[in-house]
Structure 1
Amino acid sequence: MNQLRRLKIIIQGAVQGVGFRPFIYRLATELNLKGWVNNSASGVFIEVEGTKKNLEIFLTRIPQEKPSISSINTVETTWLDPVNYTTFEIRHSSSGEKTAVVLPDLSTCSDCLQEIFDPNNRRYLYPFTNCTNCGPRYTIIEELPYDRPHTTMKVFMMCECCQEEYENPLDRRFHAQPNACPVCGPRLQLWNKKGDTLANDNNALNLSINALKDGKILALKGLGGFQLVVDGRHTEAVTQLRQRKHRPHKPFALMYASLEAIKNDCEVNGLEETILTSPQAPIVLLKRKKSQSLSPEIAPNNPYLGVMLPSTPLHHLLLYKLDFPIVATSGNLASEPICIDEQEALQRLENIADLFLVHNRPILRPVDDSVVRVMGEKEMVIRRARGYAPFPIQINDNLLRNNKKKDQSIPNILAVGGHLKNTVAIIKNNQVFISQHIGDLSTPEALKSFNQVMESLKTLYDFDPEIIVCDAHPDYVSSQYAKAQNLPLITVQHHHAHILSCLGDNNLNLPILGVAWDGTGYGNDQTIWGGEFLLVTGNQYERVAYFRPFKLPGGEQAVKDPRRIALSLLSEVSQELYYKELPFLETISTKELNLVKQMLSRNLNTPLTSSVGRLFDGVAAMIGICQNVTFEGQGAMALEYAINDLETDASYPYEIEDSLYPLVIDWELMIHSIIEDILGKISHQKIAAKFHNTLVDIIINIAQRSQEKNIILTGGCFQNKYLTERAILGLTQEKFTPFWHHNVPPNDGGLALGQIVAGIHRKK
């Protein structure tokens, strides 16, 4: 007779709210093992008793057969003497240190989808159907462990049928915390602008569908907040949405009913299809096809479309009865956070939406749609929110070992991010929990959201910060917040944080050469950096090279009016005669031209910058494809898209000054040559391609001079597909190893992770 053994197992990772305990129950029962499993605030605890052979099989099969949407970070095992358990049971959750991973909100699974379209199912056409494989998580959880009383669903008392599913370990709704049905769960209502109820439930949905067909703008309460929805073919309706939302040019996202419908309008490769149909269901940037019935106002002068599939039963039901894709954009005014409450939406969206499709399931925290682009044949998250946040980033064990003494734990570090595309982050053990995208901290509403998200993250993980990390820019709202907290403070140079963010994203070791290009970052010399090559060795870095600085006439005004940057570049190359010959100058009045000339000649309000992002803006204005900017990155996007499908290796000349660090990359010869090409009637397409190719040549040149083989590409400029993929190819051909972002955005949305890594390095 085989001797009984007992095994204690602690599993940490994304193992709550994913059907992990019923999976353990079924596996243990199959192997004739006795004991128990429960959730705790730090993970899943198991005690299981049986023969050693069966216990070893049990351990082997857990990672092999675990629920597909779960992930395991650590498995701790301890062999113990048996206590003669007689059954295997699922016990109630226990408390403890809060380190369990809160799963992001997940799109509707195929089983639930089948149910809502089955006339014989009790959840037929029910827009809040979910199970342990899908549905809300992060948007409804109040605290750990993840149990219904700790979610916003606690206000809904389950009916007998739902309760029976919830308590049955063999049911896929066993402990599905948002479990509900038409009898006991959330309900739909359609409101007018005054908040009067026009219809309920399925009638509300049908009236909303009719309104969209009539060209109306619908404010829809989704999973993580409100979306503004309109017919994607209806140019007048889309234009009206732009006017009301104060968003004149920035592309809108589209939602399609099916993958086949997306393929009718866009080119979709295998990886893009996988991302579109994943449980995260993000917006994916796809190359559009020429034959389309879509309104040109969705993405003006843009060869790409941001598209997604329905992520909730409500969206599926809405799209099912429509024969066209819908614009589905954030329910907010420009630069404000999205609305999550019905009454708030009535106030803030009353001048945008015609109707409000609402429900009574409370949303605890705002979560926008995530945005993804395939870059270098890998996924790159551009905006990290629904489906991704707050899933943690694991910090490299080597980095942790190199930066702490034996048995010394990492302190509780809070990172508050930057000013644009703000996110915040905390670290517990070796897991960095990054918040969802918050946005630009330029409005009172955004600042309020910043504080709420931060407090929510701290509450969720029972987190009391011991160190706070911020950007070195003294005027950032996030930096001012950090300085007011009466905690040990670490400030991190903007581009250093970008590089450390990519380091953490790729689990790399130092040293490394970071290429950090963006629009704005506060430099150590109090100028505006943005075209940086930094050799990073830990909490130290050396500025290896940077772009020759140029003036921004009017400061922030030059960012909004890139023609001023073009004039600044012209003045630097001392070509006065060009002021009469270049076509873009026809758009500038004599008065404004003289004003900018005076500012430049007298150095009046002309801060210096080394920014590659601003160089993009200046060149885009100079060749006449972007005269004014209404959203961040507009000039750079126009220049990237101008290339279209042109294939050329041609580039422009440039010089590198000095033989000692930091090297100065002089762009004067490049600007001369661009001017000659403009006057020579060379196409925008070829000028744009040559400009990009020159930037890649510069990256390779500096990499060769640095002799560092591992090269990081980071900052907002590397959201540019042509630039990034050509740099990856060129560096690889020259025997360098390039790294770029995947799970964390290359833009300022990734700064918080870099600040956390800096905090680990610099902690006392």
Structure 2
Amino acid sequence: MAEELIGKKILVTGVVQGVGFRPFIFGLARSLGLNGTVQNSGNGVLILVEGPREPVDKFIHEICARPPVLASISQCQVGESPPQGFREFRIERTGGRVTGDSVVPPDAATCRQCRGEIFDPADRHYQYPFTNCTNCGPRFTILKKLPYDRPWTSMDKFDMCDKCAGEYADPGDRRFHAQPVACPECGPEVWLVDREGGKIEGDWLVNARRLLSEGRIIAVKSLGGFHLACNGLDPAPIRLLRLRKGRPAKPLAVMCRNIDVVREYCHVSPEEESLLESPAAPIVVLEKKNPFRLPDELAPALNGLGVMLPYTPLHLLLFADDLQVLVMTSGNLTGLPLAADNDRAMNELAGIADFFLLHNRDIVNRCDDSVVRHTCGGLQFFRRARGYVPEPIEMSSAVVGSEERDYVGAGGDMKNTFCLLKKNKAYVSQHIGSIDTVEGSEHYKESLHKFCELIGARPVRAGCDLHPGFKSSAIARSRFPAAIGVQHHHAHMASCMAENGLNGDVIGVILDGTGYGTDGNIWGFEILTGGYVDFTREFHLEYVPLPGGDQAVRNPWITASAYLISLLGQEGAAMAATLFPDKIKELGIVRKMISRKINSPFVSSCGRLFDAASAVLNICLENTYEGQAAIEIGELAPKKFCRLEPYRYQIEGHVIGLAPLLKAMVSDYCGHVPQTLIAKKIHDTIVSAILDCALRVRSQSGISRVVFSGGCWHNNYLLSAAIKIFKDNGFNVFVHNKVPPGDGGISLGQALVSYHRGGI
């Protein structure tokens, strides 16, 4: 008697489109002798399968056990379906309305097989800069809307040749339904021009390599936007790039030809190597080797260097025997969005680049390089973008229930991201950056609209920053009348809670640069308690006036002087005069501004404390990029934590007093105590103070879960010391691994606060 046939209807959601999932299902079904169909739908990948029970059960098991490498399954829903008498297994056309349950994957670095073809003279993809397959290549950056099919990408204008069409239609080929599939006969093309737009005759690759070797700067149209590239082994073009871009000290990222080249200049752990060679291919901050054999101009005054490997065929092709390291920094003018189209790049970057390497595949969604680091707390993001976006962050059922409405977190005005909360998924956007310009605001609004369309989100409510001057908040309030204000550091705390699946009350240790407080002052050093709905500020650093506001932020010597004068009076004023003898006239103005309360907002901030300490130690008197002083004093702290050696501080009521710290720090500096020891003791004082506060909070509340958030947690020594000390004292410590601890992560917290504060 013939074995009874059964039928199943399977819906797979998650990152399952554009990753070779349908070919995988097709091959699996064929190998097991099963019949049915598979198709992309608005909900996910829909499978109808029928056959004997044993192979059907094995089929279902294998779907989740061994999916394609780029796939990420959220759910696999299996239901009964009466057998329909299918005679074969086939792939059906896409159908269905987009719901956001299925997500297009992030862009993926060129796979090994495609790399082999690019460098094989016998292959038809030899030296073709747009070679890809189902395992690699552009996804998010070329996508106009879901479902992820070629007509909805910027590849729609390139008709496939017969050979590409054959690969695309062959279920046994690794390019089966690879939407960006192309070759030199039918795909996008590259050309090289000078800054006036004149085409450089001859082979573009030969010319580009020659120009880079000669020390020229080239604006390269990459995957998610333009890079500014030059020879990373030659200090002359690096200095010229810094001069033209007005970027005197901010570190520049480099791209190395391969992992062996990276090892020549930096220490690389197994975890870091895995990040570098992952499909995401982010910039990874690595420790420089000593002596450092690359130009100091790449990352002056820093122990680390941002390094990435070539992640597109175009990048791979640019390297040569005399070009092993290339600077690859974001192609934009300071404060403006990343250039993504040819005309805008030619217009904006003509004063920086000597030549432009252009192509005719449109970038639909700008997406800068992601920047990460491996720490004692695991993966830490500085910037989350290419390679990770638009993959959502799954929300625990303890955090988000069965809410059907969508919410948005608007983010801040610097290091901006926005976050769309849809069902149990949080979609944090790519790094948008600064939006305090017209161009930045337009980029933000355009990206928000595209993202909503991409995942089918229709937000009903927004969470935004309390700062009255933030453009992100103004945009949110104009689009969502029910927008609610979320205090900046409450959003930081909620963000760390959300990505760790926490509900209920926690202790939030928020160490940050600037955040508008509920009292109208500038916050940035808070010990909070609470959850998503509300919070209590238990302890904070004492307030000091900040003469000139942003002017003091740009000039840490002003911040240092303000600390000394306001907290130590005449004694502090004398210290400031000793420390900054060439600023005597300006110090008089600072004293008047403080005494007369002229443009001197009150600040309580870890970032400003680091600024002041950096200036006192004569490390950094001017911030030429955001956080420079804090970063450079952090570089002087030990690489590993051993034991605390704090300066003295005071806690009176809910305020952490700094006068003893200031006196001891200045005394040590004037007594020629090594900067490294003073820097360690400053860090240790912060760790000791936050532990002291947390212990007091726990004794009163019983709360032992602690979240660390805020931009100052990028400080590696601070993070490692605090994790160790807090765990030793019985706290459960949670840190950021999925979004940045700085302002790039607050949109997630804003969205969750908006959700938890209830209906409209």
Cα distance per residue 1:595-650 (max 9 Å; x no partner): 00111111111100111111110111111101001111111101111225486631
Structure 1 position 443, deviation (Å): 1.9
2:155 aligns to what SS in structure 1? Answer: helix
Once the two structures are overlaid, the 10-residue window that deviates more, 443-452 or 752-761, is 443-452
Taking the TM superposition and a 5 Å limit, the aligned residue runs for 1:282-293 are 282-293=282-293
Instruction: Please state if 1:544 is matched with 2:569.
Output: no
Deviations 1:684-742 (A, max 9, x none): 10010001111111222122112121110101000111101111111111111111111
Residue 739 of structure 1: which of 731, 734, 737 is its match?
734
Matched, 1:191 2:197: no
SS at structure 2 position matched to 1:123:
coil
Distance in 2 between the 1:458 and 1:121 partners? 41
Distance 1:119 1:629, change over 3 A: same
CA contact (8 A) 1:218 1:357 kept: yes
Change (3 A) 1:734 1:648: closer
**3-state secondary structure, aligned to 1:6:** strand
* 1:579, distance to aligned residue in structure 2 (A): 4.2
DSSP 3-state at the match of 2:707 = strand
Q: Secondary structure at the match of 2:8?
A: strand
Q: Output the CA distance in 1 between the equivalents of 2:324 and 2:69.
A: 32
Partner of 1:103: 105
1:484 maps onto 2:452 in alignment: no
For the residues of structure 2 that align with 1:532 and 1:307, how far apart are their CA atoms? 33
Q: Which amino acid aligns with 1:570?
A: L
Check the 8 A contact 2:19/2:134 in 1, yes or no: yes
Q: What is residue 355 of structure 2 aligned with on the other side?
A: 355
What amino acid does structure 2 have at the position aligned with 1:352? I
Alignment-derived partner of residue 388 in structure 2: 388
Secondary structure of 1:610's partner? strand
Letter in 1 for 2:520: Q
Amino acid at match of 1:238: I
Counterpart-to-counterpart distance in 2, 1:178 and 1:164: 14
Please name the residue that 1:628 is paired with: 622
| Cross-structure match for 1:314 | 314
Rounded Cα–Cα distance in structure 1 between residues aligned with 2:738 and 2:320: 32
C-alpha deviation, 1:538, in angstroms: 3.0
- The separation in 1 between residues aligned to 2:301 and 2:578, in whole angstroms, is 18
Confirm or deny: 8 A CA contact 2:50 2:83 kept in the other structure: yes
Q: Structure 2 residue aligned with 1:413, among 390, 407, 410?
A: 407
Give distance in 2, aligned partners of 1:232 and 1:445. Answer: 30
Q: 1:275 to 1:584 in 2, by over 3 A?
A: farther
> CA contact under 8 A between 1:552 and 1:568: conserved in structure 2?
yes
Q: How many percent of aligned residue pairs carry the same amino acid?
A: 41
Please, which of 499, 508, 512 is the counterpart of residue 506 of structure 2?
Answer: 512
Give distance in 2, aligned partners of 1:743 and 1:137.
Answer: 20
Residues 486 and 255 (structure 1), Cα distance of their counterparts in 2 relative to 1, 3 Å cut: closer
Aligned match of 2:487: 493
- Do structure 1's residue 688 and structure 2's residue 679 form an aligned pair? yes
Distance, in Å, in 2 between the alignment partners of 1:317 and 1:248 is 30
Contact 2:9 2:47 in 1 (8 A): yes
In 2, the alpha carbon distance for the partners of 1:151 and 1:679 equals: 63
Does the residue aligned with 1:691 lie in a helix, a strand or coil? helix
Answer yes or no: is the 8 Å Cα contact 2:40–2:94 preserved in 1.
yes
Distance apart, 1:277 and its partner CA: 0.7
Letter in 2 for 1:273: E
**1:140-187 alpha-carbon deviations (Å, 9 max, x no partner):** 000110000000000100000100110111111111010000110111
Answer yes or no: is the 8 Å Cα contact 1:584–1:624 preserved in 2.
no
Structure 2: distance between partners of 1:689 and 1:583: 25
**Are the equivalent residues in 2 in contact too, given 1:583–1:624 (CA < 8 A)?**
no
User: Is contact 1:410–1:760 with CA below 8 Å preserved after alignment?
Assistant: no
The one-letter amino acid of 2:660's match is L
Structure 1: unaligned runs, 5 residues or longer: 402-407
Structure 1 contact 517–532 (Cα < 8 Å) conserved: yes
TM-score of the aligned structures, taking structure 1 as reference length: 0.97
1:69 deviation in Å? 1.3
**Counterpart check, 1:698 vs 2:699:** no
Whether the 8 Å CA contact 1:579–1:585 is kept in 2: the answer is: no
Alpha carbons of 1:498 and 1:377: their partners in 2 closer, same or farther (altered >3 Å)?
closer
User: Letter of the aligned partner of 1:134 in structure 2?
Assistant: C
Structure 1 partner of 2:722: 727
Change (3 A) 1:70 1:334: same
State the alpha-carbon separation in 1 of the partners of residues 530 and 574 from structure 2.
45
AA aligned opposite 2:248: P
Structure 1: 4+ residue segments shifted above 6 A: none
Q: Distance in 1 between matches of 2:77 and 2:183?
A: 38
Equivalent in the alignment of 1:169: 171
Query: Is the 2:532–2:752 contact (alpha carbons within 8 Å) kept by the matching residues of 1?
Result: no
Tell me which of 120, 127, 130 is aligned to 2:129.
127
Deviation at 1:568?
1.1
Deviation of 1:584 after TM superposition, in Å, equals 6.7
Partner-residue secondary structure (3-state), 1:574: helix
**Cα distance, 1:587 vs structure 2:** 5.2
Please say if residues 577 and 587 of structure 2, whose CA atoms lie closer than 8 Å, have aligned partners that are also in contact. Answer: no
| Cα drift, residue 58 of structure 1 | 0.9
5+ residue gaps, structure 2, are none
Structure 1 residue aligned with 2:327: 327
Residue 97 of structure 1: how far off its partner (Å): 3.2
Partner of 1:250: 250
* Counterpart Cα distance in 1 of 2:573 and 2:380: 41
Which amino acid is the alignment partner of residue 291 of structure 1?
Answer: P
Output the amino acid matched with 1:669.
P
What corresponds to 2:704 in structure 1? Answer: 709
CA 1:495–1:189 in structure 2 vs 1: closer, same or farther (change >3 Å)? same
Assess if the C-alpha contact under 8 Å between 1:16 and 1:103 holds in 2. yes
Q: Which residue of structure 2 aligns with residue 14 of structure 1?
A: 15
Measured after TM superposition, the shift of residue 578 of structure 1 is 5.1
Indicate conservation of the 8 Å contact 2:231/2:323, yes or no: no
- TM-score by length of structure 2 reads 0.97
Structure 1 position 590, deviation (Å): 2.4
Distance of aligned partners of 1:516 and 1:581 in 2 relative to their CA distance in 1, 3 Å threshold: closer
Match of 1:665 in 2: 656
Q: In structure 1, give the amino acid aligned to 2:457.
A: F
Deviation at 1:358, TM superposition (A): 0.7
Report if the CA contact (8 A) 1:643-1:684 is conserved: no
Kindly provide the amino acid, as one letter, of the partner of residue 344 in structure 1: R
d(CA) in 2 for partners of 1:573 and 1:187? 63
- Superposed counterparts of 1:22-421, under 5 Å: 22-99=23-100, 100-199=102-201, 203-401=203-401, 409-421=403-415
1:677 paired residue number: 668
1:431 maps onto 2:425 in alignment? yes
**Partners in 1 of 2:509 and 2:124 — Cα distance?**
56
CA distance in 1, matches of 2:673, 2:291: 28
Rounded Cα–Cα distance in structure 1 between residues aligned with 2:198 and 2:98: 46
Distance 1:410 1:683 in 2: 59
Distance verdict in 2 for CA 1:48–1:236, change over 3 Å: same
Deviation, structure 1 residue 104: 0.8
The 8 Å contact of residues 399 and 498 in structure 2, kept in 1 or not, is answered as no
Other structure's SS at 2:267 match: coil
1:567 Cα deviation after fit: 0.7
Per-residue CA deviations over 1:101-132 (Å, capped at 9, x if unaligned) read: 12111110111001111111110111110001
Q: Deviations over 1:638-664 (max 9, x none)?
A: 111122548663111111112xxxx21
**Take 2:208 and 2:438, find their aligned partners in 1: how far apart are those partners?**
32
Structure 1 pair 134–433 and aligned structure 2 pair: CA distance change class (3 A):
same
Looking at structure 2, the residues matched to 346 and 634 of structure 1 have their Cα atoms a distance apart, in angstroms, of 30
Q: CA 1:583–1:119 in structure 2 vs 1: closer, same or farther (change >3 Å)?
A: farther
How many pairs does the alignment contain? 752
Cα deviation per residue 1:449-484 (whole Å; 9 max; x = unaligned)? 111111111221232221122111111000111122
1-structure distance, mates of 2:718, 2:441: 34
Contact 2:565–2:572 (Cα < 8 Å) also in 1: no
Quick one: distance in 2 between partners of 1:320 and 1:28?
45
SS at match of 1:307: strand
